[in-house]
């Protein structure tokens, strides 16, 4: 942990990292107003969400939806206790992210090199060169400006272009990212190919290679309906940070009518009902969709729990309940 990160895990078992303002918004046509983004982030933080990926420092001409990321980071930094995460595609993005004051930078590296060249227009060697430069940049920042630096292993479970992605390749890239100075690696099932057995195998393999403290989180998709099953595998093995998107914003480009990212509301209900503490108040969380409905009308939102509501007599963990009494805190222990 670097010095500017708030003590994020205090009193909770699992950290929910909301990625909607980045991952969700970059996949929709609508451009959300800056004031609506701020209202969204504020409302989610007030519901108890402790980490939000608020944007991406990509050139505005590529993603006009995220052109205001600098302003959004500065705003989010004023919210007490909120860890402000951003995506950075390259060194330039990292410079901007540090200038804006982000707590955490994630640089995505697509394990499928074909995907890397198609999406980032970069070979692995070129991405790794950026990683090394960013790690150096961070090292020479004053302690109070030094963000946590994650190398995000995307297409880690399979690729729409290459198909199968060998686990050995993912592990090799994890080792290289850590060797070049990342504080941590993250795993992303960008394509929704993962299954629970694969999640456990890959996490175990990466832990054996780089150490357990170097991989704590996972970014899962629900493209084929396996999102929450994969969450259970991640919990079982002991990961403690889960990415998700409010209302599943962004949908899935490969499967129209399906959410891409796992849905924050359903994920929080799953965890809370098993007695795992997230610090999130579900009733408050379920009102946050209103900001999206008002500011980007017509964009499809998903989620079973927001539609069905909480079960009768349900007492949330955040209000002293323990879900249905099946205290599952052991799941997240170790």
Judged on CB neighbours under 10 Å (0-12, 13-18, 19+), 139 is: exposed
Judged on CB neighbours under 10 Å (0-12, 13-18, 19+), 236 is: middle
The residues that touch Zn ion, with contacts defined as CB under 5 A, are 23, 261
Q: How far apart are CA 64 and CA 56, in angstroms?
A: 11
- Tokens standing for residue 236: 């079982």
Taking the complex as a whole, the smallest distance from the CB of residue 175 to Zn ion amounts, in Å, to 24
- Would residue 252 show up in a list of annotated catalytic residues for this protein? yes
Taking the complex as a whole, the smallest distance from the CB of residue 322 to Zn ion amounts, in Å, to 30
Nearer to Zn ion, 19 or 296 (CB): 19
Residue 239: which of 209, 269, 200 has the closest Cα? 200
Q: Which position among 159, 182, 240, 252 bears the catalytic label?
A: 252
Say if CB 157 and CB 202 are below 8 A apart: yes
Helix (H) or strand (E) holding 186: strand 184-188
Residue 295: which of 86, 65, 60, 62 has the closest Cα? 65
Taking the complex as a whole, the smallest distance from the CB of residue 191 to Zn ion amounts, in Å, to 10
Taking the complex as a whole, the smallest distance from the CB of residue 190 to Zn ion amounts, in Å, to 7
* List of long-range contacts for 72-77, beta carbons under 8 Å, 24+ apart: 72/21, 72/34, 72/37, 72/38, 72/41, 73/97, 73/100, 73/101, 73/102, 74/100, 74/101, 75/38, 75/41, 76/41, 76/45, 76/52, 77/101, 77/103
Nearer to Zn ion, 251 or 275 (CB): 251
Using the structure block, give the residue that is written with the tokens 């850590």.
178
Nearer to Zn ion, 20 or 323 (CB): 20
Nearer to Zn ion, 260 or 279 (CB): 260
Taking the complex as a whole, the smallest distance from the CB of residue 141 to Zn ion amounts, in Å, to 28
Residues in the chain: 334
Taking the complex as a whole, the smallest distance from the CB of residue 221 to Zn ion amounts, in Å, to 6
Angle between helix 91-100 and helix 69-76 axes, rounded to 10 deg: 40
Q: How far apart are CA 63 and CA 236, in angstroms?
A: 37
List the catalytic residues. 252
């Amino acid at each position: 942990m670097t010095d500017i990160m708030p003590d994020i895990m205090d009193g909770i078992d699992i950290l929910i990292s909301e990625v909607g303002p980045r991952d969700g918004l970059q996949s929709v046509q609508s451009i959300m107003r800056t004031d609506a983004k701020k209202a969204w982030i504020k409302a989610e933080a007030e519901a108890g969400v402790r980490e939000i990926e608020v944007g991406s420092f990509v050139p505005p001409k590529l993603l006009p939806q995220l052109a205001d990321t600098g302003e959004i980071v500065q705003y989010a930094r004023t919210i007490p206790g909120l860890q402000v995460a951003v995506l950075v595609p390259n060194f330039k993005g990292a410079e901007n992210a540090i200038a804006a004051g982000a707590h955490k930078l994630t640089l995505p590296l697509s394990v499928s090199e074909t995907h890397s060249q198609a999406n980032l227009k970069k070979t692995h060697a070129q991405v790794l060169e950026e990683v090394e430069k960013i790690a150096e940049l961070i090292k020479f920042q004053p302690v109070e400006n030094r963000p946590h630096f994650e190398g995000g292993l995307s297409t880690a479970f399979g690729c729409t272009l290459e198909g199968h992605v060998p686990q050995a390749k993912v592990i090799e890239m994890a080792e290289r990212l850590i060797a070049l100075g990342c504080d941590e690696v993250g795993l992303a099932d960008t394509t929704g190919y993962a299954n629970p057995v694969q999640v456990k195998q890959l996490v175990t393999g990466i832990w054996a290679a780089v150490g357990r403290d170097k991989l704590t989180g996972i970014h899962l998709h629900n493209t084929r309906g396996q999102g929450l099953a994969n969450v259970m595998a991640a919990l079982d093995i002991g990961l403690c940070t889960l990415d998700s998107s409010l209302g599943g914003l962004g949908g899935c480009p490969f499967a129209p009518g399906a959410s891409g990212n796992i849905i924050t509301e359903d994920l929080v209900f799953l965890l809370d009902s098993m007695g795992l503490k997230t610090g999130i108040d579900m009733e408050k969380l379920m009102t946050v969709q209103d900001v999206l409905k008002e500011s980007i009308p017509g964009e499809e939102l998903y989620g079973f729990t927001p539609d069905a509501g909480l079960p009768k007599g349900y007492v949330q963990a955040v209000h002293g309940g323990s879900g249905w009494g099946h205290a599952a805190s052991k799941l997240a222990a170790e």
